[in-house]
Amino acid sequence: MSTATQRLILRMADDELILAHRHSEWTGMGPLLEEDIAFSSIAQDKLGHAQALYQILHDQFEAPVPDAQAFGRNEATFTCCQFVELPNGEYDFSLVRHFLFDTAEYLRYGMLGKSTVEPLAKLARKVHGELKYHLYHAQTWIIQLSSQGTEESKARMQTALNEAWPYALGMFDPKDDDAALSADGVFPGEQALEDAWRASVADICAKATLVVPTDTAAMLGGRKGFHTEYLQPMLDEMTEVYRIDPSAEW
């Protein structure tokens, strides 16, 4: 039986791992060299964050080693939200997802810097500084392609934002553990995070002259192991080498 803290760390780690892999799919494919490098770097950072989180689960909660957690699990045991598993689509969607996810991530690690779970707090304080660059990158491009862009680029950003929105709301699922997590000083909770995220996103959207989409039903299920049709094919590819010989030393 897992605790609220374990569930929190696992869903954070799974989100980071899966989005890292999606971002890495831009390596060699970016629309311009700097963006190719940016998405590859962000992917590498996220993979590092995932590894450090799996390491905490291993050290503190007797979970298997990080590689086994990342590559040795089946789809139904992944607790990532559906937002991170969606295909990259075109660059506009990847950029909008990066903006919405990293805004939440930056705020999340900011809150976790004060967590009573000491290893998590230490990691969060470190990661927070790195994420500044992710956020800066995302915000610069969102504004550049919207208020400072062309009619076409702005329309594409707005469409991508509208499509991403219901999935983005799924990042803040579940809220059932909020009371327990905040009572123990582990984390203020997904609701508190969502509130801070909405304010921050609205601020950048105003600068970008983008309209914050109207809420529709959040796309949930990922946290309980119900995923989109896109996750399994991605896992097949991501774990292919590991599955050939799980005990191989690199």
Partner 1 sequence: MTRTDVLEALTHVMDPEIPTLSLVDMGVITGVTVAEDGSVRVTMTPTFVGCPAIDVMRSEAEAAVRAIGVEKVTVEVNFDEPWTTNRLTEHGRQMLLKHGLAPPEPFDTTVELHLDVLNNTACPYCGSRNTTMKSPFGPTLCRSLHYCNACQQAFEGFKPV
Contacts with partner 1 by CB under 8 A lie at: 34, 37-38, 40-42, 44-49, 51-52, 119, 122-123, 125-127, 129-130, 132-133, 136-137
Beta carbon of residue 24, minimum distance to partner 1 (angstroms, whole number): 12
Give the CA dihedral 23, 26, 32, 37, nearest 10 degrees: 60
Beta carbon of residue 223, minimum distance to partner 1 (angstroms, whole number): 24
- Cα dist. 73→54, 62, 165 in Å? 13, 16, 28
81's CB contacts (< 8 A; 6+ apart) are 11, 15, 167, 170, 171, 173, 219, 222, 223
How far is it, in rounded angstroms, from Cα 117 to Cα 181?
A: 10
Residue showing tokens 């997802």: 97
Beta carbon of residue 45, minimum distance to partner 1 (angstroms, whole number): 5
Quick one: how far is CA 84 from the chain centroid?
A: 6
How far is it, in rounded angstroms, from Cα 101 to Cα 45?
A: 14
How far is it, in rounded angstroms, from Cα 20 to Cα 95?
A: 13
Beta carbon of residue 140, minimum distance to partner 1 (angstroms, whole number): 9
Which CB atom, from 13 or from 218, has the smaller least distance to partner 1?
A: 13
Which CB atom, from 49 or from 156, has the smaller least distance to partner 1?
A: 49
How far is it, in rounded angstroms, from Cα 126 to Cα 114?
A: 12
Which CB atom, from 46 or from 227, has the smaller least distance to partner 1?
A: 46
Three-state DSSP class for 52? helix
Beta carbon of residue 119, minimum distance to partner 1 (angstroms, whole number): 8
Which CB atom, from 129 or from 245, has the smaller least distance to partner 1?
A: 129
Give the CA dihedral 229, 103, 50, 32, nearest 10 degrees: 80
Which CB atom, from 47 or from 160, has the smaller least distance to partner 1?
A: 47
Beta carbon of residue 6, minimum distance to partner 1 (angstroms, whole number): 19
Which CB atom, from 20 or from 186, has the smaller least distance to partner 1?
A: 20
How far is it, in rounded angstroms, from Cα 51 to Cα 236?
A: 19
Which CB atom, from 114 or from 126, has the smaller least distance to partner 1?
A: 126
Beta carbon of residue 127, minimum distance to partner 1 (angstroms, whole number): 6
